[in-house]
Amino acid sequence: MKSNKIAFLTVMLAFFTMGFVDLVGIASNYVQKDLALSDSQANILPSLVFFWFLIFSIPTGMLMNRIGRKKTVLLSIIVTAVSLIIPIFGSSYPVMLVSFSLLGIGNAIMQTSLNPLVGNIVSGDKLASTLTFGQFVKAIASFMAPYIAMWGATAVIPSFGLQWRVLFPIYAIVALLAILLLGVVRIEEEKSDTKVTGFLGCVKLLGNPFVLLCFLGIMCHVGIDVGTNTTAPKLLMERHAFTLDEAAKATSLYFIFRTIGCFTGSYILRKVSNKLFFGISAFLILAALIGLAVVSEPQSYIFIYAMIAMIGYGNSNIFSIIFSQAMLHEPERQNEVSGLMIMGLFGGTVFPLLMGFASDFVGTVGAVLVMAVGAVYLSIFTMRISK
């Protein structure tokens, strides 16, 4: 350890704050219900969140070179806190668009800067497992969001009039706590001898074939992630006539198994090769998506839950393995590589848009098939993972 345990715990709280972005799945479903939006209109909300990863990820990598990783993370949490405060005052479509945009901007800055900051706390050989543990902490915030929203929507006293939107002030309070703690904790950052690289210089790193493949892998990972937590409730509503409050449990189930996967993965990755574990994870995702697509007639909701759980567990360690592989492949350009990898979260914009249009045309199975394309890529990418 390069710093004390307090610094490590503070960074883990920042990972918890990072998980707030995953509320977009259940929130977009409630906004769709409240405003009677179509699937394609509703999917603009999560797509908008991840659009900002395309714009801010590389500039954030450059900013880290100038002001440091810790200050950049602090900036990101401040923006996130503002995004969570806005919906307290209303839930109109324009208000939610502004809130989701700021949430996306804050999360783009956070994911770009927080992952490299871990490198200042743990040694390189433990980076993948520590990032996985951070994803475990992040996933706790992710699976809590649907339960908080359901509590607000169904409580006898409807959450101070906020109803499902009560999750925003609750998470805002946690974000403010993270700002306070990270602001006072001391984290030693290594001075970089690398000259600050411009935007085009960062993009040119995509000319490295392995970095490009990692970038596409991140796009597929987040596309499946966002796609599942928005589509899972719709599968239950379409095939079993569940209400939204009942179907929202599917989103929590996904994140529960992502949490289990991250927790167990942080241990398993110390015992088995990255390549083997990645291959098993990709297989679980693909098999589950094929199951949801092929068995399209109304079936036991237990089957749908089982497939969602498989996707959650399989997708839990994909990001950490790809991210660590890319960082270790270019050790002298880690800030820039981090920006590129987080820019790959733009897949959270591309996939939901494609899924929304496919769902409007052929039903929810169309959205599942779009995600399956990403799962096929991840399965093929397994061959490029180093042992």
pLDDT at residue 156, as a whole number: 53
What is the value of pTM for the model shown?
Answer: 0.76
pLDDT in single tens digits along all 387 residues of the chain? 444 678 888 989 999 999 888 888 788 888 888 888 877 778 788 888 878 888 888 788 778 878 888 999 999 999 999 999 999 888 788 898 999 999 999 998 998 888 888 877 776 666 667 777 887 888 888 878 888 888 887 765 555 667 888 889 999 999 999 999 998 888 877 665 555 556 676 778 888 899 999 999 999 999 999 889 888 888 888 888 788 778 878 888 898 898 898 888 878 888 888 899 999 999 999 999 999 888 766 557 888 899 999 999 999 889 888 988 888 887 777 777 877 888 888 888 888 889 888 888 888 888 999 999 999 999 999 998 876
Q: Which residues contact 326 (CB under 8 A, 6 or more apart)?
A: 210, 211, 214, 215, 337, 340, 341
CB 330 within 8 A of CB 205: yes
**Dist. CA 81–CA 151, nearest whole Å:** 22
- What is the average pLDDT value for the chain, to the nearest integer? 84
pLDDT at residue 83, as a whole number: 93
Query: What residue type is 32 in one-letter code?
Result: Q
**Dist. CA 181–CA 175, nearest whole Å:** 10
Query: What residue type is 266 in one-letter code?
Result: S
**Dist. CA 144–CA 150, nearest whole Å:** 10
pLDDT at residue 175, as a whole number: 95
Locate tokens 């494609």: which residue? 354
pLDDT at residue 315, as a whole number: 93
Q: What angle do CA 68, 126, 115 make, to 5 degrees?
A: 30
Extract the tokens encoding 114: 């927080």
pLDDT at residue 134, as a whole number: 85
